Amino acid sequence: KVFIPRQSVLTKLLEVSHFQTIYNIFVALLIVIILNTVCLDLLEKGRIDIEFEILTGSFNKLSTTISIWLAMLSTTLLVYPVFHHWAKHTNSFSFDIVWLLLYVAYLIAFLVIPAMYVTKHKLALASSMIVVTEQTRLMMKVHSFVRENARSILNYLKHVETTSQPFPGFSSYLYFLFCPSLIYRNEYPRTANICWSYVVTNFLQVIGCTMYIYYLYVRFCLPVFRTAGRELANVKTYLKTIFSCVLPATLMFLLAFFAILHSWLNAFAEMLRFADRMFYEDWWNCKSFGNYYRTWNVVVHDWLYAYIYKDVLMYGDRRNRSTLAMLMVFFVSALFHEYIISVCLGFFYPILFVIFGGFGVLFIPLTQRKSTRGWNIFIWLMLFFGCGLLLCLYCLEWYARSLCPPNPVRH
């Protein structure tokens, strides 16, 4: 991974008036949805009832959430002195094996303990999402820091008979923990100054997208899910519910992409003067699923390629290394996506794992080396139905468990 100064794709596109108009259309559509909701409430109920308690209730126990995050960050910071101690004293294979086992134990504990606290304190959806996504982000950053520096230290010791090898400063590690990259480097290209108005604009866009998603859910999805449990479950009911969710779910997906991979990451990049802002590519133009997976989230893809794909290529079976590496990347990615959703929702329902790790893999050879416009339409169709199916099935399960909570204890 070579970092170079460059802007995000949408940053450049939004400088063009035609694309700025598309942005304006989305803003106008949000205003229309808000007005529609307000008018319906006034006409049907005689008052405005937007049900903000659903949104505010998702951010319950913020003090507990912040405490868990601070604890995770503290253990992440402790990795630096511990790893520095290993780097100064590594001198034998058995010594390295012991430290490797301790490192693996740390990663397992870092994965398990926060999830236990989320369950113990019964954090709501948004609070759980904050903890689990930050847990995953910090764990990926720790692994990148350890992998990149352990490799350079061991290579250094092979050629130099000394233990005073160069070690990155703590400031480099601390900067890496907050910069929008999952690949560690001692230095990154930096911008000359900070444009605080750009930072504020991006954070406002995150808030706006969050409200947009909330209004879409309350206006178009919530009424469907609240009445779904009163009807007899059959194929007809499921199809009606899925098709009702297709358009709002896809809009939610696009808004979440814009909020997180564009606005949120660009805000932190600007604050930290991080110059390489290629967080995604023009995935909306893709004509193959392989290219879509590589371009829609470059930040995570770079990490998976560097520490999963390349490792399997190096140590896997020579005859099927590339296929095995690809399957391992999909398995790890699908597993962690499902882990995040399961912890946040409070139940295991592996729909995303099946769609992402199953159908997502099967579509790669089907769409490989395709270049006509029809295949781009096919990918968008699959995204539409995939988003609708995921939102429908997860929400139906959520409301089913809310109405009829499982009770394994029998008296």
Residues of the chain with pLDDT under 70: 49-51, 92, 155-165, 228-233, 316-319, 406-411
Neighbours of 293 (CB within 10 A): 23
Is the Cβ–Cβ distance between 218 and 51 less than 8 Å? yes
Q: What letter does residue 308 receive in the DSSP assignment?
A: I
**Per-residue pLDDT, 269:** 95
3-class secondary-structure state, position 14: coil
Alpha carbon separation from 191 to 271, 301, 321, 365 (Å, rounded): 10, 24, 40, 41
**Per-residue pLDDT, 131:** 94
Alpha carbon separation from 377 to 139, 263, 381 (Å, rounded): 36, 26, 6
Q: Which two tokens stand for residue 310?
A: 């390349």
**Per-residue pLDDT, 326:** 85
What is the model's pTM? 0.88
3-state class percentages of the chain: helix first, strand second, coil last, to nearest 5: 75, 0, 25
**Per-residue pLDDT, 169:** 87
Q: How far apart are the first and last CA of the chain?
A: 59
Where helices occur in 272-372 by DSSP H, the ranges are 289-295, 298-304, 310-315, 321-345, 351-354, 360-366
Q: Which of 18, 121, 337, 411 is catalytic?
A: 337
- Give 6's strand partners: 276
| Distance (Å, whole) CA 11 – CA 23 | 12
| Distance (Å, whole) CA 141 – CA 173 | 10
3-class secondary-structure state, position 272: coil
The residue ranges of every structural domain in the chain are: 62-178, 280-403
- Give 190's strand partners: 274
Residue 411: active-site member: no
